[in-house]
Amino acid sequence: MTKLLSIEIFICSVAGKFKSRPQLNDNELPILSLTNTVQYQSRIASWSMYFYCFSALFSAMSMGTVIGWSSTALNSMKMDYSVPRIRPNEPIDINYMTWMGSCMTLGALFGSLFSGIIIDHFGRRIILSTLAIPFTIGWLIISFAQSFLTIIFGRVITGICVGIIASTVPGYVANIVTPNRRGFLGTCFQLLCSIGALSAACFGTIFSWNRLSLISIIPVIISSIGMCFAPESPIRLVQRNQSKAALQSLKRLRSNGSDIMAELIELENRIKSSRQSHAKSSIKSLFKRPDVYHPLIIGVMLQFFQQFSGINAIMFYLVSIFNDSGSNIDPQLASIVVNFALFISCLFSGLSMDFFGRRLWLFISGSGMFMTMLMMALHYHCNLNDKTSSTPLICLIIFSVSFACGYGSIPWMIVSEITPPEAAGLVGSFSAATNWLCAFIITKEFEDLIYLLGKEGLYFLFSLFSLISILFVMFFVPETKRKTLEDLQNHFLNNY
């Protein structure tokens, strides 16, 4: 009876004559025998979908403030009125400074690994609606700290929250948006992150590091309030056999002209097909599937190349880099200019992501980072004492623009685009953990690497990794623009 009902729904929806929507029991999964996947019908986003997307994405702004905090705050701690105060000539204070910059990434590493478990148990909506609590605690600890160790503790807490955000927000957005808006809204994660870093740079020139920490609480509170009104993603509800709730969620996320019943049937049959094919799959057998381990390799390697481009080392120590560059450009102003360029580039790439596709932007991004890091290496080799040189500012502006248009957002969004739903949590966690582990290595050892390789040697190393990333994209990364998950799964199953 259920099978006949599903066939009738499908025929009516294709003919455009589907008027009534039969009531479904929570545990009822219609089986579509005519085809495994209902092709995209008219999926038109409602205004509420954009509201819920940006409610989730606003937490990425909090992530940006955490990343951008250290650049201006560590400089503020060198002032005489700061308690605690960094003494630039004291090795122990320099060690504390590197830990305050890098410890956040250790927290994010733990948060990204832990997030896979809590996402499976609680769902992304509940996590994002309650994230303001630990985030606020972390920022308050930093703001009222009287010692470096207390600040480091607060940074670890905010880092854990950042790791959860990075693993949760892109997946939630990808699961509720329509396919034709997936590229733009996917890149908005990096866009909001860049706004957070820009706001930290701007407010850091006005306020002390204590007050900057208090201001940084605001974005995550806004995000959590918005997420209290958001629905859980339809695909999670279908995975939990709650078809009725999934239908109500789709009604809120799609406009009246959308064929939400066809979309629901597609989700149900995709999940049912996956369950039937891999009902007894263990984690070990899951990662033996080409459509799982190839997305895992791609996700991990793109995150590796993102961090070994040097982005977080540069953003964490941006003011210090300009102080040491030999240029007479004001470091605080240069930091704001670089972050503003990052924001503009994120905005432009987001608007054009669905037009040009992911692979082209990764090529452009890798090429730009390769050239600018190579120019930075040549600057330090040849023009270190040139006080009038604007090369560092120009190179870092182009570098940030190049990073934002590709590697800033695509490594985060592509995982949810190419990974089957049953493996998305694990693959996303491994990918995010790789990002934060590499970020910790680069930011913690940044000063030591400068001592070991010299500034020109370190920037040359960054340029080399960017060059290798171009070759990796050329041979291993598929285009995902306007392709369904089924298309991409077939790509991995048939080509490897």
Torsion of CA 254, 260, 266, 269, to 10 degrees: 120
Position with higher pLDDT, 169 vs 316:
169
- pLDDT of residue 209 exceeding 90, the answer is yes
Whether the bond into 84 is cis, omega within 30 of 0:
yes
Spatial separation of the C-alpha atoms in residues 415 and 253, rounded to whole Å: 22
Neighbour count for residue 31 (Cβ, 10 Å): 15
* Closest C-alpha among 115, 491, 108 to residue 298: 491
CB burial of residue 328 (10 Å; 0-12, 13-18, 19+) = exposed
Neighbour count for residue 45 (Cβ, 10 Å): 18
- pLDDT of residue 20 exceeding 70, the answer is no
- pLDDT of residue 31 exceeding 60, the answer is no
Q: Which architecture, in CATH terms, is 47-230+279-495?
A: Up-down Bundle (1.20)
Q: Tokens at residue 128, please?
A: 């994002």
Span 86-107, average pLDDT: 87
By mean pLDDT, which of 245-254, 325-334, 486-495 is the weakest? 325-334
Check: CB of residue 247 under 8 Å from CB of residue 264: yes
Spatial separation of the C-alpha atoms in residues 27 and 377, rounded to whole Å: 61
Which of 39-43, 81-85, 222-226, 355-359: highest mean pLDDT?
Answer: 222-226
Longest dimension (CA), the chain: 81
Average confidence score pLDDT of the chain: 83
Sign of the dihedral through C-alpha 470, 472, 474, 478: negative
- pLDDT of residue 311 exceeding 60, the answer is yes
* Closest C-alpha among 200, 195, 226, 225 to residue 215: 200
Spatial separation of the C-alpha atoms in residues 15 and 8, rounded to whole Å: 11
Q: Enumerate the H helices of 278-325 as residue ranges.
A: 283-286, 290-307, 311-316, 318-324
Coil, strand or helix: which one is 372? helix
Beta-carbon contacts of 171 under 8 Å, excluding residues fewer than 6 positions away, are: 119, 124, 416, 424, 428
Span 227-256, average pLDDT: 92
Which of 68-72, 286-290, 369-373, 489-493: highest mean pLDDT?
Answer: 369-373
Q: Binning pLDDT at 50, 70 and 90, where does residue 357 land?
A: confident
Nearest-5° Cα angle at 140, 136 to 146? 160
Spatial separation of the C-alpha atoms in residues 326 and 30, rounded to whole Å: 68
* Closest C-alpha among 397, 405, 376 to residue 463: 376
The pLDDT tens digits of the residues spanning 131-142 come to 999 999 999 999
Spatial separation of the C-alpha atoms in residues 56 and 168, rounded to whole Å: 9
Torsion of CA 332, 334, 336, 339, to 10 degrees: -130
By mean pLDDT, which of 47-56, 128-137, 145-154, 254-263 is the weakest? 254-263
Give the E-state strand segments of 16-154 in sequence order: none
Neighbour count for residue 195 (Cβ, 10 Å): 25
Spatial separation of the C-alpha atoms in residues 300 and 302, rounded to whole Å: 6
* Closest C-alpha among 409, 259, 285, 282 to residue 348: 409
- pLDDT of residue 15 exceeding 60, the answer is no
Which residue is associated with the tokens 């120019």?
375
* Closest C-alpha among 288, 143, 130, 289 to residue 213: 143
pTM for this entry? 0.78
How confident is the model at residue 326, as a pLDDT? 61
Q: Binning pLDDT at 50, 70 and 90, where does residue 387 land?
A: low
How confident is the model at residue 336, as a pLDDT? 87
- pLDDT of residue 280 exceeding 60, the answer is no
The total number of residues written for the chain in this structure: 496
Spatial separation of the C-alpha atoms in residues 107 and 160, rounded to whole Å: 4
Span 434-442, average pLDDT: 91
Domain spans of the chain, in order of start:
47-230+279-495
DSSP per-residue string spanning 32-99: -SS-SSPPP----B-HHHHHHHHHHHHHHHHHHHHHHHHHHHHHHTTSTT-SS---TT-HHHHHHHHH
Q: What is the CA 475 to chain-centroid distance, rounded? A: 23
Which residue is associated with the tokens 């949590």?
425
Q: Tokens at residue 269, please?
A: 């049959």
Q: Binning pLDDT at 50, 70 and 90, where does residue 62 land?
A: very high
Coil, strand or helix: which one is 464? helix
Spatial separation of the C-alpha atoms in residues 258 and 48, rounded to whole Å: 14
Spatial separation of the C-alpha atoms in residues 372 and 394, rounded to whole Å: 9
Query: What distances in angstroms separate CA 13 from CA 20, 108, 210, 268, one per listed residue?
Result: 10, 45, 58, 16
How confident is the model at residue 290, as a pLDDT? 85
Which residue is associated with the tokens 């984690």?
283
Percent of the chain with pLDDT over 90: 41
Cross-strand bridge partners of residue 254 = 45
Query: What distances in angstroms separate CA 390 from CA 145, 189, 330, one per listed residue?
Result: 37, 31, 11
- Run of H or E residues at 446: helix 446-476
Percent of the chain with pLDDT over 70: 87
Which of 57-71, 274-288, 386-400, 470-484: highest mean pLDDT?
Answer: 57-71
Q: Binning pLDDT at 50, 70 and 90, where does residue 287 land?
A: confident
Spatial separation of the C-alpha atoms in residues 173 and 177, rounded to whole Å: 6
Q: Tokens at residue 238, please?
A: 């279908």
Which residue is associated with the tokens 């409610």?
55
